[in-house]
């Protein structure tokens, strides 16, 4: 029996190392989703803004990253804007419980719109569906719904 313990432990350690490397390598690509837009840059920003408001979300801020960086003395670059979007009922459902307030670091939701050097326009967002599974409880329930709502918000804007 003692002879079988060594290979088992070695296999377990190797398995854990392989799993750790796989998670470390794959997680960044899984945490962010990127879609190409059917529209031009400003049209994409406007369409996301309108789609969010149409579905009962608020858009408290649209950050113009390109302009901010240019004002800070950096060379001009392609356009980048980030829309902060919030659905007050969802936010309240999560934040009314003090133990859930830790997720304020990722609130409100953000959707990035950026233009590449070749003129293509992309939309990036956190993978809320995956994120929701990591928390459990009310956070998982609400964020899972947010993932579906964001998908619907972008349905007519992204290329399939």
DSSP code at position 101: G
Reported pTM: 0.82
Q: How far is CA 55 from CA 12, 70, 73, 87, in A?
A: 49, 34, 38, 9
The full length of the chain comes to 160
- Could you tell me the residue ranges of all domains in the chain? 32-154
Alpha helices in 1-114 (DSSP H): 2-31, 41-54, 65-71, 88-95
pLDDT at 29 over 80: no
Q: Quick one: average pLDDT of 16-33?
A: 71
More confident residue, 60 or 1: 60
- 89: Cβ contacts below 8 Å, ≥ 6 apart: 56
First to last CA, the chain: 56
d(CA 124, CA 111): 6
For 105-153, the pLDDT digits (tens) are 888 899 999 999 999 999 999 988 887 788 888 988 998 889 899 999 9
Residue 37 tokens read as 């837009």
For 78-96, the pLDDT digits (tens) are 999 999 999 999 999 999 9
Long-range CB contacts (< 8 A, 24+ apart) of 23-29?
A: none
d(CA 52, CA 99): 28
CATH class (in words) of the domain with range 32-154: alpha beta
């Amino acid at each position: 029996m003692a002879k079988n313990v060594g290979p088992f432990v070695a296999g377990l350690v190797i398995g854990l190392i392989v799993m750790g490397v796989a998670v470390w390598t794959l997680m960044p690509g899984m945490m962010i989703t990127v879609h190409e837009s059917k529209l031009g840059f400003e049209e994409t920003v406007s369409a996301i803004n309108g789609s969010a408001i149409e579905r009962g979300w608020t858009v408290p801020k649209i950050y113009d990253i390109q302009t901010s960086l240019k004002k800070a003395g950096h060379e001009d670059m392609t356009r980048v804007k980030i829309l902060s979007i919030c659905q007050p009922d969802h936010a309240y459902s999560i934040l009314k419980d003090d133990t859930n307030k830790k997720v304020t670091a990722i609130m409100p939701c953000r959707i990035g719109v950026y233009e590449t050097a070749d003129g293509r326009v992309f939309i990036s967002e956190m993978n809320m569906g995956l994120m929701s599974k990591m928390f459990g409880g009310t956070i998982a329930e609400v964020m899972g719904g947010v993932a579906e709502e964001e998908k619907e918000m972008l349905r007519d804007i992204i290329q399939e």
